[in-house]
């Protein structure tokens, strides 16, 4: 259970626990979930399997994917595991080709896979690969995968694309999150830009902005352990709401007001971070080798 459960529910976007409504939408449909080996992706995949979807599981770890698939099939569902690293172009292309051969056009794509890095700029001076990896997993890989899947979806004239994003992309930049925020913002903007054209082809797009979710990905930041946030299963219920209702966006109730209020105050917020952020212990040494 996440800490501060009442506050967590108050701050989080609303989910949908109606299994029958989900079944009406996804039964018999091919639903691809990236990042399906743990956390939000695993929780969503299990819900989809119980609702009668053909769940296509994608992630790097074959063993973990097969374990998730076993959970689904042992409960009477259908699951297919596709190990692939979204940071590797050849694996993304092979993934899309194999899915096309085995399932034809995908009905729903949930872009859930992600790479999170929280690191100060001064501790990143000799780590450009952090930025490359984040851009590959959070932006270039999903774009490459979606472009490969689109011809079949457009030929059928139907489909739904869901991106699992962060409230951070709608707020002023925060220190230490440069690699993660830039890459998540890139895919969010790409999908928002593509959405009108995709809608002309019968494909809906939903961007879901989640706050803190207590998963393996957030665990390395110790301060998050005591902060209010959703569990993976609660976040999965928000994605179920996205699949059922197909809105343009889903976000916590406070995000859009805060987005508009914070825009004119961005300079002040940057100053506040400069003034009150604890300095990096290695700043002087790294800035002046």
- The catalytic site residues sit at 180
Beta-carbon contacts of residue 23 (< 8 Å; ≥ 6 apart): 51, 52
Torsion of the alpha carbons at 103, 105, 107 and 108, rounded to the nearest 10: 90
Return the H-helix or E-strand segment holding 159: strand 159-166
- Residue 184 CA to residue 10 CA, distance in Å, equals 25
**Residue 217: DSSP 8-state:** T
**CA angle in degrees (0–180, nearest 5) for 70-148-88:** 70
Instruction: Look up residue 163 and give its DSSP letter.
Output: E
Nearest partner of 221 among 132, 117, 135, 115, judged by Cα = 117
CB 92 within 8 A of CB 117: no
Rg (CA), the chain: 19
Residue entry with tokens 């409504």 = 21
Query: Element (H or E) spanning 151, and its range?
Result: helix 141-156
Nearest-angstrom CA–CA distance, 219 and 20: 33
d(CA 135, CA 137): 6
Residue 168 to residue 161: CA distance in whole angstroms: 20
For residues 154 and 201, the answer to whether their CB atoms sit within 8 Å is: yes
């Amino acid at each position: 259970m996440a800490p501060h459960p009442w506050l967590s529910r108050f701050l989080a976007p609303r989910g949908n626990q109606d299994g029958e409504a989900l079944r009406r939408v996804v039964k018999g449909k091919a639903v691809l979930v990236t990042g399906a080996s743990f956390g939000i992706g695993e929780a969503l995949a299990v819900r989809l399997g119980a609702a009668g979807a053909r769940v296509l599981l994608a992630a790097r770890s074959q063993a973990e994917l097969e374990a998730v698939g076993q959970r689904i099939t042992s409960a009477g569902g259908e699951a297919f595991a596709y190990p692939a690293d979204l940071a590797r172009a050849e694996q993304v292309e092979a993934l899309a080709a194999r899915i096309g051969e085995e399932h034809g056009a995908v009905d729903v794509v949930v872009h859930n896979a992600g790479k999170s890095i929280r690191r100060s700029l001064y501790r990143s001076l000799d780590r450009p690969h952090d930025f490359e990896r984040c851009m590959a997993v959070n932006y270039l890989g999903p774009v490459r995968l979606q472009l490969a899947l689109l011809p079949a979806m457009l030929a059928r004239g139907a489909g739904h694309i869901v991106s699992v994003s962060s409230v951070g992309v709608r707020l002023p930049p925060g220190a230490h999150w440069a690699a993660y925020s830039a890459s998540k913002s890139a895919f969010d903007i790409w999908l928002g830009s593509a959405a009108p054209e995709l809608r002309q082809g019968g494909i809906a797009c939903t961007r879901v902005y989640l706050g803190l979710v207590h998963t393996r990905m957030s665990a390395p930041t110790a301060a998050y352990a005591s902060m209010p946030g959703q569990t993976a299963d609660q976040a999965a219920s928000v994605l179920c709401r996205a699949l059922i209702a197909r809105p343009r966006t889903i976000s916590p109730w406070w995000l859009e007001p805060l987005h508009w209020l914070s825009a004119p105050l961005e300079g002040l917020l940057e100053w506040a971070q400069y003034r009150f952020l604890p300095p990096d212990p290695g700043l002087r040494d790294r800035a002046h080798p």
